[in-house]
Amino acid sequence: MKIVIAGGSGFIGTALIEYFAKENDVVVLTRNLKKSKNNMGNKSIEINADDLRVKYVTWDAFHIGEWAKELSDADILINLTGRSVNCRYNYKNMKEIFDSRIRATRVLGEAIQSLQKPPRLWINIASATIYRNALDYPQDEYNGQISDLKSMNMPATTLQDLQAFFHKYLGWAIPSLFVRNRKKEPRDFSVRVCKKWEEAFNEITVPDTRKICIRLAITLGKYGVIVPYLNLIRWSLGGRQGNGKQMYSWVHVKDFCRAIEWFQQHKELNGTFNCSSPNPVTNKEFMSTLKKASGYIIGVPAFKWMLEMGAPVIGTETELILKSRWVLPVKLLESGFRFQYPLLPGAIDEILKSRKKKFAHKASHLHQTNVKSEGLYPRVKAVQ
């Protein structure tokens, strides 16, 4: 098979390369492999490349170019492009988060439309964050609620809790200035991005290409989000976060790769699918499973007010920790797909083992083709 992965230089792309590129030809679209900004914890590539059939091609994720030819006759196009959301939501970052996803999706659609032999399957990654803050029941493709109101997506902040408390008991004494104005309900940035991202994908008509949108849950693997969690645990800060009751929907990255293969094989499938393990856990359970598996006993909890104070310091948003993400992969299960890692302890064990493995070969002989100039970038030096 020929598989093209746009934005494939990061955490999930690397896992897909390891999964597919032994027996298939993989083309990765990247802006600049050497300077790739991704979710790999400052490690660029760490794959055993000797036996992998992978080629890196330059694009700008915005304009149509020579790279579009790489999509011709592909069996699968997977779009993973997007600036990491693990940052402060200031204007610059929000614009980049938004533009990188929407523009890349649109230009890939344009590229497909220009081809005589378009890819047979286009999988666009989206996010399970699209569903509301759910503490009452799990969200699936049929019953899931999607609203971009902030109040539907974020638990109240400590300040709002205090306001509500004083309003309840001292309402008569508080000037209305301090009471939350429901008419001016703020909108939630993440859900707005998710909605526009899916709209951009759904709007594109590509008659000869099957389309699948994957609402992906927090993906656990050797890199990505596991790295900051393990750091917290090492510093004995691996207790529950907030009240620990918020749900944590996750999926092992290998199950994500298997789902891609499943979609390719099952030609009757199209539309939107959740991709998350069928057994989400609470934040408290997640932290304690990870802590035990890593061999640590002490884990100081982080209360909501601590997270609110700490998030700006470490350059992140509390939403990524405190929003209750309770998602089920109902359509995927209905289609007959079975997870290799349905339960968290098994998934964590495998990941911790994989992190101990040393890679015998560095990807130093990989090269990136700059299709515009037909030249080659200097050989990529893998960073370990």
Ligand X SMILES: NC(=O)c1ccc[n+]([C@@H]2O[C@H](COP(=O)([O-])OP(=O)(O)OC[C@H]3O[C@@H](n4cnc5c(N)ncnc54)[C@H](OP(=O)(O)O)[C@@H]3O)[C@@H](O)[C@H]2O)c1
Summarize as ranges the residues that interact with ligand X (CB under 6 A): 7, 9-13, 30-31, 33, 36-40, 61, 80-85, 96, 100, 104, 125, 127, 216, 218-219, 224-225
Calpha distance 303→299 (Å, rounded): 12
> To the nearest whole angstrom, how small is the minimum distance from the Cβ of residue 308 to ligand X?
23
- Of the two residues 217 and 307, which places its CB atom closer to ligand X in the complex? 217
Which CB sits closer to ligand X, 17 or 85?
85
Q: Which of 99/261 has CB closer to ligand X?
A: 99
Cβ closest to ligand X, residue 216 vs residue 344: 216
CB of 24 to ligand X, least distance (A): 19
**Is the CB of 61 or the CB of 321 nearer to ligand X?**
61
Distance CA 122, CA 209 (A): 7
- Residue at shortest CB range from ligand X: 10
What is the rounded CA–CA span in Å between residue 57 and residue 8? 10
Minimum Å gap between C-beta 209 and ligand X is 20
| Residue among 306 and 371 whose Cβ is closer to ligand X | 371
Taking the CA atoms of residue 72, residue 78, residue 81 and residue 84 in that order, the dihedral angle to the nearest 10 degrees is: -170
For ligand X, the closer CB: 250 or 337: 250
Question: To the nearest whole angstrom, how small is the minimum distance from the Cβ of residue 8 to ligand X?
Answer: 7
The answer to whether 289 and 281 are in contact (CB under 8 A) is: yes
Question: Which residue, 295 or 378, has its beta carbon nearer to ligand X?
Answer: 378
In angstroms, what is the minimal distance from the CB of 101 to ligand X? 6
Helix (H, G, I), strand (E, B) or coil at 255: helix
Beta-strand ranges (E) seen in the chain are 2-6, 25-30, 54-58, 76-79, 121-127, 210-216, 218-220, 247-248, 250-252, 271-275, 281-282, 368-370, 375-376
Instruction: Confirm if 148 and 187 have CB atoms less than 8 A apart.
Output: yes
- Taking the complex as a whole, the smallest distance from the CB of residue 329 to ligand X amounts, in Å, to 13
**Positive or negative torsion for Cα 39, 128, 202, 115:** positive
Tokens of 228: 């900051």
Q: Which is nearer to ligand X, 228 or 310 (CB)?
A: 228
CB of 113: closest distance to ligand X in angstroms?
A: 20
Could you identify the residue written with the tokens 């659609």? Answer: 109
Tell me the angle at which helices 158-170 and 304-314 cross, rounded to the nearest 10 degrees. 140
Q: How far is CA 114 from CA 65, 98, 119, in A?
A: 11, 25, 11
Name the minimum Å distance from CB 125 to ligand X. 4
- Is the Cβ–Cβ distance between 325 and 132 less than 8 Å? no
The DSSP line for 275-331 is ES-S--EEHHHHHHHHHHHTT------B-HHHHHHHHHHHT--THHHHS-B-B--HH
CB of 83 to ligand X, least distance (A): 4
3-state secondary structure of 4: strand
Residues 239, 288: Cα–Cα separation, whole Å: 7
